[in-house]
Structure 1
Amino acid sequence: MILGGLLVVIGCRPRSVEQAGPQVTATPESIAWREGDVNAAFRDARQTGKPILLYWGAKWCPPCRALEATHFRNASVVAEMRHFLPVHLDGDAKGAQRWGDRFHIGGYPTIIVLRSDGSEVMRLSRVAAPAQFAAALRAMAAQAAPISALLGQALADPGKLTHDQWEAIAAYDWLDTSGRFADRAANAHMLERLAVVAPDPKLARRFAIYALTPRTIAASTTLSASEQSEVWQILPELIGSEQEVSSNLPYLGYVAPRLIAALPPSPARTALGNHLLRVLDKAAEDEQLGLADRVRTLDAEIVLAKADNGGRIPAAVVARIYRRIGQAERAAHTPALRQSVLEAISDILVEAGDAREAARILGNDLSHAAVPAYYMRALGQIEAQRGDTFLAVRWARRAAEAAVGEDSRLRWAIDYSMTAIRMTPTDGPGVNASARTVLAAAAQGRGNYSTTTRDRVDAWRKAYARWCRSYSATCSS
């Protein structure tokens, strides 16, 4: 769940992509989003010559809310967006999944720059700093060269790229494997090559830490001798520069502590970890940073404390975590803000070993939640980790019942049924009831689902069929 912090809705209700005209919502300091009508945006793009920026989000998505509260309110980003036709598409809107398939969208949020002919130019990382994000937009507006062309030129003749074009490459969503670059190992190799040819040492270090990121996504981080040497080369320089800290904060908060923890124990490793924590503490005081992102800086403290104390977290660190969490919870005043902040808080508490408190905080906020179904789903996942089969299935069922939108309703119904199959396989009536929920949700959507969702349905059918053969003579059909 913590990885969601690395990987972080328009108030207006999204319109169907099949409706005739675009709904545009804006204030003088905001982005003039077109709600839902992608076809109309392409027609206007052909007439105006502007590229399209497609923002794929959902009402239930906390990283989407964080993006909207930070990047999409940043003055530089708002100014650059005037050179684009910005389209917001809710993944649960009628017909949205067809566009999700066309553009190979695999998760929320996704941000894609498109030409008027529908070809993809760029996928912008939601964890890029707002300044990087704005620089990438400048480069795309000046010359909508696809990322493949920029990469080719960077490797062949790096000096010909402008500063903004290099920033565009750095702002690409290298963690999104549903688009053009689907192989994480190949991506890491590409980033290593970019780190060698980048003209600016700061960019080189940024590419280098991007290349090391896949090593930290596994259950446990292990580093080769050469990778350890690379960590010692890049991290002290990176965390020693205030500008580089700002540009790489999400990676410093999640990737850096795991890289440090994977180094052999030594006084030097402890000193590097302490230096990182001081840098993150200072960053967390910056009110320009989203509140949820400030909470997630606590992850580094947990990871490094466990590394230095045999997997345990000292009482002083625990007390500090609870103090910071309490401050953040009190500062989150609106339902939309609370949705992203409480998700971050619950992730931190689970990482710290207090799933009970994580469940309590989410449960207490259910009646005020912007999207209660999302909290219910998270509560089910927490209880599953705790091994409480009854509560895990109950929360999964409640989330499926409360879900709104064709795609979310089916996905969360599948989550409910898979939880029931996995955790209560001997409860025949309960598992069959969960299966009927999936079948009902699928029928409501009339088959208008993305390839990703259809793959989920196929996986569920196989799991349910296996359960039927093992546990029940009579199954729902």
Structure 2
Amino acid sequence: MSHARPLKAAALAVALAATLAGFGPAAHALDGPPPGNVAWQDATSDADIDKAFAAAKAQNKPVLLYWGAVWCPPCNQLKATLFNRQDFAEESRSFIAVHLDGDAPGAQRLGTKFKVVGYPTLILFSPDRKELTRLPGEVDAAQVMQLLQLGLASGRPIAAVLADARAGRPLSGSEWRLLAFYAWDVDEGAQAVPAAERGPLLRKLAASCPSTESAACTRLALKSIGDSDEKNAPSPDAATRARVAQVLGDPALSRTYMDVLTNSAPAIVTALAPKPGAERQQLVASFDAALVRLQADATLSRGDRLDALFARVDLARLDQPKETLHPKLPPALVKEVRAAAATTDREATNAFERQAVIPTSAQLLEEAGLWNASATLLKSSLSKSHSPYYLMSELGSNARKQGHNAEALQWYQQAFEKSEGPATRLQWGNSYLGALVDLTPNDSKRIEATAQAVFNEAAAQPNAFDQRNGRSLQRLGAKLVKWNTGGKHQAVIDHLNTQLQGICAKLPAGDPQRETCDGVFKPASTKA
């Protein structure tokens, strides 16, 4: 990797102080209406939401809410593969399309209302505001279209469907399919299913799924293995093992469950074969064969094909330490990674697609131990990206993992300086501060100046302590509290707390933001 020349400490402190003094809310391009011939309604307030649902009720149409951000790679994947489809535009006549940009004024407060945090999130509501389902962003566009049509036809809130499933009451075939495809990863507590409980719930659903709904049952079984944070999960039963073998061996089935296979390959393999050995090797070989087919499937998007190759690399690394920077991989696989990254860089010319696939390609190169190639790809893509600060963060991560701390901090600093949008700037500022605390814990002046800059950003925003914003600032506070263990930096904390309390005091009494603001510097054990 080519290293940026590190500045001397004194010069860096002066340069940083000068830069931070000028930090303020940056002008930015909002995440404009997604491409395609869809009449998206932008929402930034309760009034906008009320207007959308009033129209939905008057026209007896559901509401499709899309929550995203301009820089978010999966959001850009949706723009490149779903929102620009003609059949999506035609289907949009059946619902009211509402676009919620996470950086728009008031967006984070609306995010709290709809229990959305992760970008992207797609939620389908009935005209009377009941949530019908959350659509997964990782399946391919054709499957999303099918799910959208199912949700439009169902009319039953997902909470009611899930309650009936838990109680053992009968469901329709379309309801089983909606449960099988439900986007648990962006649930954010909407259905009161904590991540740790997801595995047992999915296993229960898979076990009670009727044999007439084979596709839904198989998806639930696969996701019960791969989409769970549960510790000490029971070993998959013989029926589940047979399902996995069938899916891996059948090209059509592998294509149907592509999203689970590419996103959960290591988890599924380790669940079925917990220990290295012949059984695991055989399973990895079967998985790899299925992934090779997906990687070559021209009906899949470029991003999905890259995910298949990524899963192959992850499986090849499975029995090596996770922190290994230069894993031992088959030379042919490394060659494929290089070729795929080069092809992606050359052929992905659409701005939305590039923002989705270039970060994936760079991370894939890193996973294969090709760190220089990853950095070169990211640097050469900066001028081609509509959100280069995202790629700068990736460059910072790249340098940090290799121990190039000064270079990493320079990239994190640049990413913060160039980031656009109020919520984004708080998130990127938090990332930069976290890197400073981890990599230069004794540079209290630089850490204090950066924290002051982030708080200045918060002071200029009406929703700085709502939803994602509040979480960013809580993480910042927790990081600084830990940094001050034993009172080593109490003077800095006191200065920052004084600044913060001035911001908190301006928030209206009773506003949930006030509680979040007041709790930023409270140790985790004292927070409610």
Larger deviation, residues 186-195 vs 33-42 = 33-42
Which residue is 1:356 aligned to? Answer: 372
Measure, in 1, the Cα distance between the counterparts of 2:398 and 2:120.
23
Measure, in 2, the Cα distance between the counterparts of 1:13 and 1:291.
26
Q: Find out whether 1:167 has 2:177 as its counterpart.
A: yes
Q: 1:77 to 1:268 in 2, by over 3 A?
A: farther
Measure, in 1, the Cα distance between the counterparts of 2:353 and 2:320.
34
Describe the superposition over 1:86-109 as per-residue Cα deviations: whole angstroms up to 9, x where unpaired.
111110011111110101112100
Aligned-residue offset at 1:187: 2.2
Which residue is 2:42 aligned to? Answer: 35
- Give the partner amino acid of 1:205: T
Structure 2: runs of 5+ lacking an equivalent? 1-28, 322-326, 500-528
Aligned-residue offset at 1:190: 1.9
Measure, in 2, the Cα distance between the counterparts of 1:348 and 1:319.
12
Which of 462, 466, 470 is the aligned partner of 2:488?
470
The secondary structure found in structure 1 opposite 2:185 is coil
Residues 316-355 of structure 1 correspond to what in structure 2 (within 5 A)? Answer: 316-355=332-371
- Give the partner amino acid of 2:159: S
Describe the superposition over 1:271-318 as per-residue Cα deviations: whole angstroms up to 9, x where unpaired.
332232222222222333221221121122212223478862122221
Which of 124, 133, 138 is the aligned partner of 2:149?
138
Which residue is 1:127 aligned to? Answer: 138
Which residue is 1:286 aligned to? Answer: 297
- Give the partner amino acid of 1:94: P
Measure, in 2, the Cα distance between the counterparts of 1:79 and 1:240.
36
Asked if 2 retains the 8 angstrom alpha-carbon contact of 1:155 and 1:197, the reply is no
Describe the superposition over 1:336-365 as per-residue Cα deviations: whole angstroms up to 9, x where unpaired.
222111111112122222333222211121
Measure, in 2, the Cα distance between the counterparts of 1:308 and 1:420.
33
Asked if 1 retains the 8 angstrom alpha-carbon contact of 2:66 and 2:121, the reply is yes
Residues 27-426 of structure 1 correspond to what in structure 2 (within 5 A)? Answer: 27=36, 30-36=37-43, 37-154=48-165, 160-162=171-173, 164-178=174-188, 179-199=190-210, 200-215=213-228, 224=234, 226-227=235-236, 229=238, 232-261=241-270, 263=273, 264-307=275-318, 312-426=328-442
- Give the partner amino acid of 2:377: I
Which residue is 2:516 aligned to? Answer: none
The secondary structure found in structure 1 opposite 2:186 is coil
The secondary structure found in structure 2 opposite 1:299 is helix
Larger deviation, residues 312-321 vs 70-79 = 70-79
Describe the superposition over 1:347-391 as per-residue Cα deviations: whole angstroms up to 9, x where unpaired.
212222233322221112112211011111222222222222212
- Give the partner amino acid of 2:374: A
Larger Rg: 2
Asked if 1 retains the 8 angstrom alpha-carbon contact of 2:426 and 2:472, the reply is no
Which of 433, 439, 445 is the aligned partner of 1:429?
445
Aligned-residue offset at 1:142: 2.4
Larger deviation, residues 173-182 vs 289-298 = 173-182
Measure, in 1, the Cα distance between the counterparts of 2:442 and 2:350.
42
Which residue is 1:6 aligned to? Answer: none
Larger deviation, residues 239-248 vs 421-430 = 239-248
Aligned-residue offset at 1:26: 7.1
Which residue is 1:7 aligned to? Answer: none
Measure, in 2, the Cα distance between the counterparts of 1:169 and 1:38.
26
Larger deviation, residues 138-147 vs 459-468 = 459-468
TM-score normalised according to structure 2 size: 0.78
- Give the partner amino acid of 1:208: A
Structure 1: runs of 5+ lacking an equivalent? 1-11, 16-23
The secondary structure found in structure 1 opposite 2:83 is helix
Measure, in 2, the Cα distance between the counterparts of 1:158 and 1:296.
37
Which residue is 1:8 aligned to? Answer: none
Measure, in 1, the Cα distance between the counterparts of 2:176 and 2:365.
38
Aligned-residue offset at 1:241: 3.1
Measure, in 2, the Cα distance between the counterparts of 1:444 and 1:205.
50
- Give the partner amino acid of 1:404: E
Q: 1:165 to 1:132 in 2, by over 3 A?
A: farther
- Bigger RCO (CA 8 Å, 6+ sep): 2
Aligned-residue offset at 1:249: 0.9
Asked if 2 retains the 8 angstrom alpha-carbon contact of 1:76 and 1:131, the reply is no
Measure, in 2, the Cα distance between the counterparts of 1:342 and 1:241.
30
Aligned-residue offset at 1:208: 0.8
Q: 1:424 to 1:25 in 2, by over 3 A?
A: closer
Aligned-residue offset at 1:444: 1.8
Root-mean-square deviation (CA, aligned residues, Å) is: 2.7
Asked if 2 retains the 8 angstrom alpha-carbon contact of 1:417 and 1:435, the reply is yes
Aligned-residue offset at 1:46: 2.0
Aligned-residue offset at 1:32: 2.8
Measure, in 1, the Cα distance between the counterparts of 2:331 and 2:298.
28
The secondary structure found in structure 2 opposite 1:420 is helix
Measure, in 1, the Cα distance between the counterparts of 2:372 and 2:240.
36
Q: 1:338 to 1:424 in 2, by over 3 A?
A: same
- Give the partner amino acid of 2:152: A
Asked if 2 retains the 8 angstrom alpha-carbon contact of 1:261 and 1:304, the reply is no
Measure, in 2, the Cα distance between the counterparts of 1:116 and 1:308.
51
Aligned-residue offset at 1:65: 0.7
Asked if 2 retains the 8 angstrom alpha-carbon contact of 1:77 and 1:130, the reply is no
Q: 1:58 to 1:451 in 2, by over 3 A?
A: closer
- Give the partner amino acid of 2:399: E
Q: 1:457 to 1:129 in 2, by over 3 A?
A: same
Q: 1:413 to 1:223 in 2, by over 3 A?
A: same
Measure, in 2, the Cα distance between the counterparts of 1:41 and 1:463.
40
Aligned-residue offset at 1:173: 0.6
Report the identity percentage: 29
TM-score normalised according to structure 1 size: 0.86
Q: 1:139 to 1:157 in 2, by over 3 A?
A: farther
Measure, in 2, the Cα distance between the counterparts of 1:302 and 1:315.
12
Q: 1:308 to 1:315 in 2, by over 3 A?
A: farther
Asked if 1 retains the 8 angstrom alpha-carbon contact of 2:416 and 2:429, the reply is yes
Q: 1:223 to 1:355 in 2, by over 3 A?
A: farther
Asked if 2 retains the 8 angstrom alpha-carbon contact of 1:137 and 1:168, the reply is no
